[in-house]
């Protein structure tokens, strides 16, 4: 099917390529020294594989066919058991006698097969729906559309052969001799193949155009329909593959989001299989079978999503929510700066000349947390910085002005109390909550600032 249908080959290759072209990372199970060592070893082995990106594409072959297998070739290097390379095994080498457990066909067991040897294969079952793994592949649901399109194109070619060229009719007089008739038919045929010919003045040739009823459009519409159905099955949408008559930018963005969700699901399924079938034996053979396994991650996040996520993190930090430095660096794939390394700080602040990092941050840079093994505390400069920033950036007018106006209009304290609850009826509850949070945060920071003696202390 992939070899004969150009559209099907394109969209299936696009879905597999959306995984194989991504960056990947091995992260430790924890920050424990042993877990860091395990993660570094696993990453070195994977990086050392000669064709790992191609191997990812081979694993992704399960998307279309339901399952895929790669054979692991082990070797002993510097006292460690490592995988030298991986090689794809065709799906035809496996059978499913009980529809649950695959068996490998060998020369000795060419019919019944043998159980898969432990730690010898990466065997990926791509779960697109529940049920028999053999029936999971998206090519199965595309089979009918492929057949309809294939028969449609064959009929379309026959139609083009019959009606693609104009019909040539030669006319001769009823009393024309046989020689004139033979010359006329030869001329008609040569015009069809050579686009040139000669005839006598007593004869004529008429060209009748092919049918103008639009019969050929029927075949195109059916082929386009089949293409669209296959695009839905494999990519989840058609907007990014079919131009269509009309389209809206917002609809296209929705369809791209649908495709992004499919990519994320593919990545997470493949990462889970690699962790189980490749990382688990690597760690077990070399560090013990009870050692925690590092995580394998394919970075499928769109940079635009990370920008939006960074904005949310900034909001949480401004509202006082504590966030782990390790979690933040892992989320945005930021390597920790080395001791004494020159760094860039938020707002353009730079470390003082010859100043060294203290636990990954510079003490003189405004707004930085000073991190130690037990707690997180604010430096004096940090407190000054945030108080000043909160006062300048927080707009309390929408919260305070209605109360000030109500005080001016109220005749008594009881009148003010009764009308107070109605002041914010027209304000969005979310906006009101945000303004209250900003006000409380500013008040707390200002209180800490004053209790610490002010900016000149």
- Splitting the chain (457 residues) into consecutive groups of 10 residues, what average pLDDT does each group show? 92 89 90 92 94 93 94 93 94 88 91 92 90 86 93 87 69 76 77 58 61 68 92 79 52 60 91 96 95 92 70 76 75 70 58 46 41 40 55 63 81 80 70 73 70 55
Q: At what angle do helices 6-20 and 249-274 cross, to 10 degrees?
A: 60
CA dihedral 395, 398, 401, 405 (to 10 degrees): 180
Distance of CA 88 to the CA centre of its chain: 24
pLDDT for 121 equals 96
Retrieve residue 147's tokens: 């057949």
Confirm if 207 and 218 have CB atoms less than 8 A apart: no
Is 153 in the same domain as 130? no
In a domain, 332, yes or no: yes
Euclidean distance between CA atoms 300 and 17, whole angstroms: 12
Region of 99 on the Ramachandran plot (φ > 0 left; ψ -120 to 50 alpha; else beta): left
| One domain for residues 415 and 307 | no
Would you put residue 367 in left (φ > 0), alpha (ψ -120 to 50) or beta? Answer: left
DSSP-derived pairing of the beta strands 167-171 and 67-77: unpaired
Same domain, 129 and 154: no
HEC secondary structure over the chain = CCCCCHHHHHHHHHHHHHHHCCCEEEECCCCCHHHHHHHHHHHHHHHHCCCHHHHHHHHCCHHHHCEEEEEEEEEEECCEEEEEEEEEECHHHEECCCCCCCEECCCCCCCCCEECCCCCEEEEECCCCCCCHHHCCHHHHHHHHHHHHHHHHHHHHHHHHHHCCCEEEEECCCCCCHHHHHHHHHHHHHHHHHCCCCCCCCCEEEEECCCCCCHHHHHHHHHHHHHHHHHHHHHCCCCCCCCCCCCCHHHHHHHHHHHHHHHHHHHHHHHHHHHHHHHHHHHHHHHCCCCCCCEEEECCCCHHHHHHHHHHHHHHHHCCCCCCHHHHHHHCCCCCCCCCCCCCCHHHCCCCCCCCCECCECCCCCCCEEECCCCEEECHHHHHHHHHHHHHHCCCHHHHHHHHHHHHHCCCHHHHHHHHCCCCCCCCHHHHHHHHHHHHHHHHHHHHHHHCCCCCC
- Judgement on whether residues 147 and 126 belong to the same structural domain of the protein: no
| Host domain of residue 98 | 6-136+265-287
Q: 442 in a domain, yes or no?
A: yes
Contact 337, 343 (CB under 8 A): yes
Residue 235 in any domain: the answer is no
Is 386 contained in some domain?
no
- Cα–chain-centroid distance for residue 376? 36
**Residues 153, 106: one domain?**
no
- Boundary-marking domain end, from 226, 256, 278: 226
Position 367 scores a pLDDT of 39
d(CA 407, CA 423): 11
- Give the pLDDT of residue 157: 87
Specify burial of residue 243 (Cβ count, 10 A radius: 0-12, 13-18, 19+).
Answer: exposed
Closest CA to 45 of 17, 5, 86: 86
In a domain, 377, yes or no: no
CB 96 within 8 A of CB 134: yes
Kindly state whether residues 103 and 171 are assigned to the same domain: no
- Tally of residues, the chain: 457
The answer on 147 and 43 residing in a single domain is no
Same domain assignment for residues 60 and 209: no
Per the structure, the count of domains in the chain is 4
125 & 41 share domain: yes
User: Does residue 367 form part of some domain?
Assistant: no
Q: What is the pLDDT of residue 201?
A: 58
| 321 in the same domain as 281 | no
Report yes or no on 294 lying in a domain: no
Phi-psi group of 247: left, alpha or beta (phi > 0 → left; psi -120 to 50 → alpha; rest → beta): beta
Question: Both 144 and 131 in a single domain?
Answer: no
C-alpha to C-alpha distance for 114 and 105, rounded to whole angstroms: 7
Q: Is residue 251 part of a domain?
A: no
> How far is it, in rounded angstroms, from Cα 52 to Cα 7?
27
Tokens 């963005």, located at residue? 253
Of the candidates 226, 255, 278, which is a domain's last residue? Answer: 226
Residues 10 and 91 in one domain: yes
């Amino acid at each position: 099917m992939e070899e004969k249908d150009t559209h099907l080959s394109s969209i299936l290759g696009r879905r597999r390529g959306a995984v194989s072209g991504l960056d990947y990372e091995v992260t430790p199970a924890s920050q424990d020294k042993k877990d860091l060592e395990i993660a570094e070893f696993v990453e070195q082995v994977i990086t050392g594989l000669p064709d790992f990106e191609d191997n990812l594409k081979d694993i992704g072959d399960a998307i279309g066919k339901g399952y895929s297998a790669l054979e692991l070739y082990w070797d002993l290097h510097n006292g460690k058991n490592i995988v030298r390379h991986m090689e794809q095994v065709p799906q035809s080498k496996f059978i499913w006698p009980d529809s649950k457990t695959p068996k490998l066909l060998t020369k000795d067991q060419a019919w019944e097969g043998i159980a898969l040897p432990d730690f010898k294969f990466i065997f990926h079952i791509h779960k697109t729906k529940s049920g028999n793994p053999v029936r999971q592949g998206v090519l199965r649901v595309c089979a009918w559309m492929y057949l309809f399109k294939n028969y449609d194109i064959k009929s379309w070619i026959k139609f083009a052969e019959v009606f693609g060229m104009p019909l040539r009719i030669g006319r001769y007089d009823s009393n024309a001799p046989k020689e004139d008739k033979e010359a006329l038919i030869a001329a008609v045929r040569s015009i069809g193949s050579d686009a040139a010919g000669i005839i006598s003045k007593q004869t004529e040739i008429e060209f009748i155009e092919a049918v103008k009823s639009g019969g050929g459009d029927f075949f195109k519409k059916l082929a386009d329909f089949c293409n669209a159905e296959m695009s839905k099955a494999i990519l989840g949408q058609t907007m990014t593959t079919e131009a269509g008559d009309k389209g809206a930018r917002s609809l296209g963005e929705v369809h791209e989001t649908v495709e992004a969700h499919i990519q994320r699901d593919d990545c997470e399924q493949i990462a889970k299989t690699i962790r189980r079938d490749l990382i688990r034996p690597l760690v077990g053979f070399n560090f013990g079978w009870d050692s925690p396994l590092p995580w394998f991650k394919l970075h499928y996040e769109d940079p635009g999503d990370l920008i939006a996520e960074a904005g949310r993190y900034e909001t949480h930090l401004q509202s006082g929510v504590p966030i782990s430095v390790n979690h933040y660096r892992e989320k945005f794939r930021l390597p920790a700066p080395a001791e004494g390394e020159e760094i860039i700080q938020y707002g353009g602040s730079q470390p003082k000349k010859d100043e060294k990092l203290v636990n990954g941050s510079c003490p003189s840079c405004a707004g930085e947390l000073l991190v130690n093994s037990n707690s997180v505390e604010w430096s004096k400069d940090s407190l000054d910085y945030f108080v000043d920033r909160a006062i300048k950036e927080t707009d309390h007018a929408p919260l305070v002005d209605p109360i000030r106006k109500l005080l001016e209009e109220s005749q008594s304290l009881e009148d003010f109390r009764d009308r107070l609850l109605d002041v914010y009826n027209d304000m969005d509850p979310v906006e009101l909550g945000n303004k209250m949070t900003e006000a409380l945060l500013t008040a707390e920071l200002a209180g800490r600032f004053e209790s610490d003696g002010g900016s000149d202390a």
